[in-house]
Amino acid sequence: MADLTSDFIGIRSPNPFWLASAPPTDKAYNVERAYQAGWGGVVWKTLGSDGPPVVNVNGPRYGAIWGADRRLLGLNNIELITDRPLQVNLDEIKMVKRKWRDRALVISLMVPCDEESWKDILHRIADTEADGVELNFGCPHGMAERGMGSAVGQVPEYIEMVTRWVKKHSRMPCIVKLTPNVTNILGPAGAAKKGGADAVSLINTINSITSVNLDSFSPEPMIDGKGTHGGYCGPAVKPIAMNMVAEIARNRDTAGLPISGIGGVTTWRDAAEFMALGAGNVQVCTAAMTYGFKVVQEMISGLSQYLDEKGMALSDLIGRATPNVTDWQYLNLNYVTKARIDAEACIKCGRCYAACEDTSHQAIAMKPGRVFEVMDDECVACNLCVDVCPVENCITMVELPKGAVDPRTGKTVGDYANWTTHPNNPSVAAAE
């Protein structure tokens, strides 16, 4: 099997799969069970100061979005940081780390936005033997109302300031956990880098209301007839998370900043995609809460097999796809495809026809016997038919060779010699 040993900002673990800071990492019992199942590391559930106590609700804490088969697609939570005494957590962290020295153990922290509070908490955790700290600048609910969490993460100046405090008062590697509840992730990521962060992790949860009870007319989860916004996570947020990871990895001001990818990682393939876009490792929460800790075993075996088949080392995978992420204006207009329907694989459901006829380009004809055929002179290669077809590989996109005439436009494929004459290139448009 491929060697999955991970070295993320000097923190070594037997594999790149860590549990994210969340209920699964709230105490020693859970963390030890996670290590026994095979997780390479954990980020301990966020610790706070010894100030005003954190009190969680004693009713439902989670709301959900399901697929048609009741598969959990998204989870909304209104749980706060740990409500267990700080010293209890610190004692357990020290005990667990001494027993599991080969596993990564990072402590998530969130305290008021003043230097003394950060200095104090860093002093308190100094002898736990933990491998690093993660600054929780992401929680969008509960703690944000207290001037912490995303209230800090949405202000780049605060991110840089607090990160500098942490680097000043601690020798531990510092990961800054970023909120997705911003218009542009590059500002916060750049601020973390300026503040001296060793890495960033993202995404934290997305501000959300997942459902409304239409009998009581309250958002869910509902506490005594009332509800509130919470943090959204799970498979549904993966596309948002991957885009933000890629933006940081490919931007010249943040390129080279190590990234821990978070957001909907459920399978080894999800993890591989995050790492191909630039993440050095991944953190998981919802998948563990849905399927239990042993889900990591599939991730380990699947990623190992994939790397073996590709003849790649884990380090070869990280950032492999980053150079292929570009801006829309630089996409190649010479690349022309058309949809093709495999008549033998087709189950004649008509989804492709209905979707194209009603909402797209009327490029699929339905012939006698419910035989569906693509009309090249109308097909713009939008891929909608592929996406709605319930049969995998029944519909594929086939590239037209250079020199062929596109029946839809009448243009020869290859009219645009290279990207410098590309009509979408803003520099060319400005010159014209």
Active site residue 139: yes
372 lies in the same domain as 286: no
pLDDT for 254: 96
Q: Is the dihedral of CA 120, 173, 152, 74 positive or negative?
A: negative
AA letter at 249: A
Tell me: the pLDDT tens digits for 86-96?
999 999 999 99
pLDDT for 322: 97
pLDDT for 314: 97
AA letter at 254: T
372 lies in the same domain as 273: no
Residue 343, phi then psi, degrees to nearest 5: -60, -30
CATH code of the domain containing 352? 3.30.70.20
Last residue in a domain, options 275, 298, 324: 324
Token pair of 114, please? 């003043």
Residue 356 has pLDDT above 90, yes or no: yes
Tell me: the pLDDT tens digits for 24-50?
999 999 999 999 999 999 999 999 987
On average, the pLDDT of the chain sits at: 92
Percent of the chain scored above 70 by pLDDT? 94
pLDDT for 330: 87
Tell me: the pLDDT tens digits for 373-405?
999 999 999 999 999 999 999 999 999 998 899
Percent of the chain scored above 90 by pLDDT? 77
Tell me: the pLDDT tens digits for 270-295?
999 999 999 999 999 999 999 999 99
Q: What are the residues whose beta carbons fall under 8 Å from the beta carbon of 83, sequence distance 6 or more? A: 53, 54, 55, 56
34 lies in the same domain as 136: yes
332 lies in the same domain as 315: no
pLDDT (mean) for 335-360: 96
Higher pLDDT, 429 or 42: 42
139, 233, 285, 379: the active-site residue: 139
333 lies in the same domain as 192: no
Quote the distance between the C-alpha of residue 206 and its chain's center.
11
33 lies in the same domain as 155: yes
Is residue 175 within 8 A of residue 42, CB to CB? The reply is: no
- Of 113, 119, 96, which Cα lies nearest the Cα of 26? 96
Residue 226 domain boundaries? 6-324
pLDDT for 409: 87
Q: Is residue 285 part of a domain?
A: yes
Treating both helix axes as pointing N-terminal to C-terminal, what angle do 115-125 and 86-99 enclose, rounded to 10 degrees?
40
CATH code of the domain containing 304? 3.20.20.70
Tell me: the pLDDT tens digits for 149-200?
777 888 999 999 999 999 999 999 999 999 999 999 999 999 999 999 999 9
Q: Is residue 1 part of a domain?
A: no
Last residue in a domain, options 301, 324, 347: 324
27 lies in the same domain as 135: yes
AA letter at 366: M
pLDDT for 430: 47
207 lies in the same domain as 333: no
119 lies in the same domain as 255: yes
pLDDT (mean) for 215-225: 91
| pTM of the predicted structure, to 2 decimals | 0.92
- In whole angstroms, give the CA distance from residue 334 to residue 413: 6
pLDDT for 431: 42
Q: Is residue 300 part of a domain?
A: yes
Tell me: the pLDDT tens digits for 238-259?
999 999 999 999 999 999 999 9
Residue 432 has pLDDT above 50, yes or no: no
Structural domains of the chain, count = 2
AA letter at 163: T
